[in-house]
Structure 1
Amino acid sequence: MLWLALSLNAAMFVVEVTVGLLVGSTAVLADGLDMLSDATVYAIALAAIGRSARFKVNSARLSGVLLLALGIALLWEVARRLQVGVAPEGLWMMAVSLPALAVNVIVLRLLSHQRNGEVHLRAAWIFTRADVVANVAVIFSGLAVMLTGLRYFDLFVGAAIGVYVIREALEILKDARSERNSPA
C-alpha cells in the first residue's frame, strides 16, 4: 500500500511541478511540491516498518519537520510571485489537478485504516488528507483564474496550501511528541 502511494505521489510530483512551472501557477507548484513531501513521508513510513517505537516516533518527527519546511518555502514562493508573477493558465491548473485529486483519493482510501495506527502511519494519512483538500482548492482556483484572468486566486490558494501544510506539520509534530512522552 505504501509502495503504491509512494509511486503515485512521485509521478504526480513530476507532472505537477512541471506543469506548475510551465503555466506559472503557484497553486499547482505548491501541490506538486506537497506530492514530493508525501512521497518522502511514505518512504520514511516504509523504512519504519518493523522498527522500534522510537524509530517510528523519530520518523514521524522527521516527516513533520519536512512538511514544516515545505510550508514555509511555499509561503516564500507566494510572496515572490506576488511581486513578479503573472496570471497562470486556469485550464491547465484544473487539468493537472483532477488526476492529482484522483491519485490522492485513491491513496487516502488505501491509508484510511491506518489513520488510527502507529504514529508514522498516522502522519502519512494526515499528509494525504491535506492533499485532497489542496487538490480541490487548486481546481476551484484554476476555474476562478480562467473566468477572471486574475492571478490572485492562484496566489491565495498557494498561500492557503502553505498555511495548511504548516498546520498539518504542527499536528504531526504534536502527535509525535505525545507518542514519545506516553508510557510504552
Structure 2
Amino acid sequence: MTKTDTAGAVRYRVTGMDCSACAAKIEATARLVAGVRDAKVSIASQEMTLRTENGTAPLPEVERSIMGLGYRLARIDADEDDGKVPDLSHVSPAYKRALWIVVVLNAGYGVIEIVGGFLAGSQSVKADALDFIGDGVISFLGLIAVGWGLAARAKAALLQGIFLGILGVGVLVATAYRVVVQHEPEAQLMGILALVGLVVNVMAALVLLPHRHGDANVRAVWLFSRNDAIGNVAVVIAALLVAWTQTPWPDLVVAVVIAALFLQSSFAIIRDARNDLSKAPSANPQQSKA
C-alpha cells in the first residue's frame, strides 16, 4: 500500500538526480499538475513527497511528467517505514553498473582536476573540480544508500553536505588569498583541464544513455551533461581571457561563481538532510510507535 496520510501525502523514491537544480525542476513539474497542492523533493534522501487534493487521482499524470524529464520514480510503501526491505525493482543491475561508472568518472576526474588546479595555479579549475566531486558524491550516495532507511540516508547526506561545503569554502578562501597575491595562472594548462572535463561529462552521458527510454528522456540526459559542461566552458573562456589580458582576474571571477553555485547545492543537501532527519521514525519516538 502506498505511503499516505490524511493530508493526501504520497512518497516516491527518485533515481537520476545529481544536483539541487534537478530537485527544483521535479518540484516545479509536479506542482503544474492539477490536483497537486505541494511537492517537496529531497536531494539528500532522493525522495519526493506529494500532497494532493483528490487522493491518488493526479498521480499517474505526475509520474508521466517527471519520468518524461528523464528521472525514475518508485512509490515508497508503508512497509519501508517499519524497517522492511524496500522495493528496489526500479534500479536494475545494468543501471547500477552505469551509475558506478559515472561515480568513478566524476570523482576520479575531480581529484585529477584538483591536482591540476594547483599545478596550473588556477582557482577556477579547482572550483570546477568541486563540481565533478560533488556529482560523484551525490551519485555514490544515491547508489549505496538506495536500500537504507530514511534516517540513515539523511545522516549520510548530512555528512556529505558538510564535507562538500567545507571544500567550497576552502576554494573561496584560497581565491581571496590569490586576489591579494595576484598570481597569474597557467592559461594553457587551465584550458586543457577544462576541455578534458568536457570530454568526461560527455562520457558520463553516453554511459547513462542506454538506460533512458524515449525521446524526452534522451533529451534530459544531454541537458544534464550540458549543465555540467557549462562550468568547463567557463573555465576555457577564463583561460583564453587570462592569456589575452595577462591578468588573473578572469580565473578568479569564474572560480567565485562556480564555488558559489556549488555551495548553494551543498547547503540544499544539508537543509534537506536536516528536514529528513526530523521526519524519520528513529528521530521521532512517537511517530515510530504509531
Cα deviation, residue 4, structure 1: 0.7
2:199 counterpart residue number: 102
Alignment correspondent of 2:176: 79
Q: Which whole-Å CA distance do the structure 1 matches of 2:280 and 2:147 have between them?
A: 20
Contact 2:157 2:269 in 1 (8 A): yes
- 1:150 equivalent in structure 2: 247
Is the CA contact 1:130–1:165 (under 8 Å) kept in the aligned structure 2?
Answer: no
**Residue 268 (structure 2) aligned to one of 160, 171, 176:** 171
Conservation of the 8 A alpha-carbon contact between 2:171 and 2:259: yes
Kindly state the Cα deviation for residue 171 of structure 1 after the two structures are TM-superposed: 2.0
Compared with structure 1, are the counterparts of its residues 6 and 90 closer, same or farther at alpha carbon in structure 2 (3 Å cutoff)?
Answer: same
Shift in Å, 1:149: 1.4
8 Å Cα contact 1:31/1:135 also seen in 2? yes
Higher strand share: 2
CA deviations over 1:23-58 (Å, ceiling 9, x no partner): 211111222244334433333333212111222222
Task: Answer whether contact 2:150 2:280 (CA < 8 A) is retained.
Answer: no
Within 2, Cα distance between the matches of 1:131 and 1:35? 8
8 Å CA contact retained: 2:141, 2:156: yes
Which consecutive residues of structure 2, in runs of 5 or more, have no partner in the other structure? 1-97, 213-223, 282-290
TM-score, L = length of structure 1 = 0.76
**Structure 2 Cα separation of the partners of residues 64 and 15 of structure 1:** 21
Higher helix share: 1
Matched, 1:70 2:174: no
Residues of 2 paired with 1:145 and 1:183: CA distance? 50
Q: Residues of 2 paired with 1:175 and 1:15: CA distance?
A: 30
TM-score, normalised with respect to structure 2: 0.51
Match of 1:23 among 115, 120, 139: 120
Aligned pairs, how many? 171
Indicate the SS of the match to 2:173: helix
Cα RMSD after superposing both structures = 3.0
- The CA deviation string for residues 50-88 of structure 1, in whole angstroms up to 9 with x for no partner, is 111222222332232222112111101101111224211
Checking the alignment, whether the CA contact within 8 Å between 2:130 and 2:262 is kept in structure 1 is no
**Structure 1 counterpart of 2:162, one-letter code:** V
Map of 1:7-156 to 2, 5 A cutoff? Answer: 7-107=104-204, 110=208, 131-156=228-253
Alpha-carbon distance in 1 for matches of 2:108, 2:173:
25
On the 8 A contact 1:37/1:66 being kept in 2, the answer is no
AA aligned opposite 2:167: L
Given that 1:130 and 1:164 are in contact with CA atoms closer than 8 Å, whether structure 2 keeps it comes out as no
Q: Give the CA deviation at 1:11.
A: 2.8
Aligned to 2:106, what secondary structure does the other structure show? helix
Larger Rg: 2
Deviation of 1:180 (Å): 4.4
Quick one: which amino acid aligns to residue 9 of structure 1?
Answer: N
Q: Please tell me the residue identity of whatever aligns with 1:50.
A: G
